[in-house]
Amino acid sequence: MNSSDLVAIKALGRPLHLGALYNARNDSFLAGKSLWDVEDIEKGTTSEAQPYSNFDITTSDSLSEKHKLLDVSASLQASFFAGLVEVGGSAQYLHDKASSKHQCRVTMKYQGTTEFKELKVLGLNVKYPEVFNQMEATHVVVGILYGAEAFMVFEDTAADESEKQEIHGNLSVMIKKIPGIEISGEGKVEMNDEDKDMVKNMSCTFHGDFLLEQNPTSYEEAVLVYKELPTLLGKDGEKAVPVKVWLYPLNKLNDVAAQIKNMVSESLVSQLKKVMEDFHEAEMRSTDLLVKSEILKTDDIRDKLELFQTKLRDFTAVFLQKVAEMLPAIREGTLEEKVLRDHLDKLKASGFSRSEMDSWLDEKETEIGVLSTYTKTMKYDIKRPGPELDVLLLDPEVDKIFMFSFTSLKYEEEYLNTISQSLENLKNNITIPAHAKNTRAEIPWYKAAGVKEVLLMALNNMRGYEDDVHNIISTITKQNVMLELPVLKHFLLLLAVNILLDPNTVNKQLVISKGGKKVERVKEGQSYPANPERFDYYTQALCKEGLTGNCWWEAEFTGGGVIIGMAYKSMSRKGYGRESCLGKNEKSWGLEFNDDSCIAWHNNVPKNVCASESRRIRVYLDYTAGTLSFHSVFSSEEKLLYKFHAIFTEPLYPGFWLIEPDRSTNGKSVGVSLL
């Protein structure tokens, strides 16, 4: 028997024995069939003692390191990925994957061998030659190395990357100490207090060919098991199992036997392994982000991450099923290796390439990071929309509520549509276009212009209500629907914003109060310093806060001839053209209130509106929906006066135009107060 004809593979916990028939096309063995009787196999078998033991550790949890520790050949790796090989015993270690990036794992390997047995097939007469004609097997097992292997995976959890490095170091140090640790007469592990502190949070997972009464789960239990492992093979090695086998091609015994025509190249197997590593990395990252999203109670982000994971798992299953169909055909020579290479190349345009998955997960990590930063800054309770929030809203003991609501978390992402379509394409064998790109249908809220200013403004508003209001955080996306429910009228407090007049914008014929909550028109001009933001002709003023999202504010006017509205910061402040008049240009919207009439203004187009019966005006902004509505308020009730529809492109600033100085009611001068 020429040694160059032999193929060595790991047993991987499979019940292989001398004389067993093996199909190398799909890496399976044929049970119940043989070329010889048991007696013939026993007569042709020789054995040689090969006592050996080894101890090794690795800090890497990669697939490459796992395959290296188990000494798995490239061809067998491909079959394992494709699900063609069912592993057992110590090879279950191949299925042991970290589920989180926060996990720190170090693996200890123990290996012991006892003997090598060889079947001298060239000296045996084949009793069942029909096996060759059946074309089911390609090889026969002619050599087996017996022994046992064990892998103990030690694990701890780190809060962040800096702690991860420290924990990895501690794990390595303590595992290297295991061979030298003493066991007391009472059967206890002897350690000093420092070592005990280092291992107190460690867990252990055992994968082995040894029969244990109970698998170790802690460091101390793992030490006791390690000390016992050499004895578990039996006095004469009778409990040893096949750890490695040697295969002999059947076509060397008979020309008609099936044979392997081609082997998948190692470079292609490495590429497949890289794909599996990438899929696992994305799975871990999305799992970690799901945990964070659950803490923040952000259902919209959670749903997207869960959808991503579902599509990734489904895509992986279908992708590997097709690999499983290709491998045997390539090995038997009925399919070219190029087909598998093309299959792997399809990932580049599927949305499941490493770069595309990382890009999308980076964006989710950023989004969650921004939310976490603001929620940690506020330190208020987070209430999930639905029963949890509704119970609080209807609590008779809670009079006033102010909510910091992240209202823009629900938006369409083209990337998720892309991977969903890619999965269907793969199932139906549709070629994915090479030019397919992953772009967003909408810009995410945290990338919008001026988002930081808006968030800080909302945060400052909330802090202004800390004394007598119940402050909470939530993620409601449809406040306007909630506002229509009479039972939740006090829910209005959730959307209110605290605004102040900006003294840098005030015209010289206006005076604002010290608190920035009231502005009045006066006859004598004031000596304000020059400022590019100041209205130099029209008696107008804007507030400091630029608003986006969903919110409302209130103002009450005295006298007549007042325009209450909102404008972009880019609206002109100088001269007497309509470009600097509130409501008279494309950058502003407003309602003009007179004694017996009301007019809606935008871009110099007037629309008559029913006169307001109240001087208290509430303004609602739904920035995303593009609506700006004005309501007159009577104690606890309100009436819609007019609603503007527009596509807003800049934050909107509340503003006022006190038109006529001599139009007063009941002796009151023209003025506006913010409520």
Domain boundaries of the chain, sorted by first residue: 3-252, 266-459, 501-674
Handedness of CA 345, 350, 352, 356 (dihedral sign): positive
Q: What is the rounded CA–CA span in Å between residue 661 and residue 275?
A: 74
pLDDT per residue over 165-187, tens digit each? 999 999 999 999 999 999 988 88
CB contact at 8 A, 620 and 600: no
CA dihedral 87, 93, 95, 100 (to 10 degrees): 180
pLDDT of residue 404: 77
**pLDDT below 70 — which residues of the chain?**
1, 432-442, 449-450, 454, 457-458, 460-468, 477-496, 635-636, 661-668
pLDDT of residue 465: 58
pLDDT of residue 480: 43
Q: What is the rounded CA–CA span in Å between residue 92 and residue 602?
A: 71
Amino acid at 478: K
For the chain, the residue count is 675
Helix (H, G, I), strand (E, B) or coil at 282: helix
SS3 content of the chain, % helix, strand, coil (to 5): 35, 25, 40
Strand ranges inside 76-191, DSSP E: 103-119, 139-157
Sequence-distant (≥ 6) Cβ neighbours of residue 276 within 8 angstroms? 63, 81
Q: What is the mean pLDDT of the chain?
A: 89
The CB-side HSE value for 652 (13 A sphere, CA atoms) comes to: 33
- Token pair recorded at residue 325: 């169909």
Token pair 């460690």 is at which residue? 202
DSSP secondary structure code for residue 221 in this structure? H
> Other C-beta atoms within 10 Å of 266: how many?
13
Strand partners, 130: none
Between the two ends of the chain, the Cα-to-Cα distance in Å is 97
Q: Give pTM, 2 decimals.
A: 0.75
CATH architecture of 501-674: Sandwich (2.60)
Strand partners, 501: 543
CB contact at 8 A, 30 and 53: no
Helix (H, G, I), strand (E, B) or coil at 110: strand
Strand ranges inside 415-568, DSSP E: 470-474, 510-512, 518-521, 540-542, 550-558, 562-568
Pure H helices in 218-265: 219-228
pLDDT of residue 661: 64
pLDDT of residue 598: 93
Helix (H, G, I), strand (E, B) or coil at 417: helix
- Token pair recorded at residue 267: 């470079």
Q: What is the rounded CA–CA span in Å between residue 24 and residue 249?
A: 9
pLDDT of residue 636: 60
Q: What is the rounded CA–CA span in Å between residue 613 and residue 617?
A: 10
pLDDT of residue 457: 65
Pure H helices in 333-413: 337-345, 354-378, 387-393
> Other C-beta atoms within 10 Å of 607: how many?
12
